[in-house]
Amino acid sequence: MSAAHLPAGTEPRQCLPPLAPARRTALRLPEGSCDALAHVFASACPLDPARGYTPAMVTVADYRRVMEAYGIDRAVLVQPSVYGFDNSALLSALTDNLGTLRIVDEAYRWRRPA
C-alpha cells in the first residue's frame, strides 16, 4: 500500500522488527533450504515519501543471524516498496553475500541499460 492509498492526514504505519532468535533454534531446516522472500533495509538509504509503511531497520547482518539460527542456506531478497525505485540498499546487501543471496528488483529491470 502506498501513501496514495492512505486516508488524508494519515502517516505511514510503523512496523515492528521481526522476532529473530538469539541463537540456533531446535527447528533446523533441511540442508539446502532457501528463503524465497526476504527484505533487508539500510538506514543510510532514503525512504520514499510516498511509502505506505515505515519499516524497522533490519540489516543484512540481522537477516544473516536469522539464516544461521534456522539453517537457511540461501535466500532471495526482494526490493521493498519503501525505497521506491532506489535499489541501493538491496545492491549493497549483495556486495558481500553473492554466494548465498540473490535479488528480485523490478525497479532494476526497468532501469537497466538495454
Tens digits of residue pLDDT in 80-100: 889 988 888 888 888 877 778
Residue 96 CA, distance from chain mean position: 15
pTM, two decimals, is: 0.74
d(CA 57, CA 80): 12
d(CA 22, CA 36): 22
Tens digits of residue pLDDT in 60-85: 888 888 899 899 999 999 888 899 88
Around Cβ 55, how many Cβ atoms within 10 Å?
A: 19
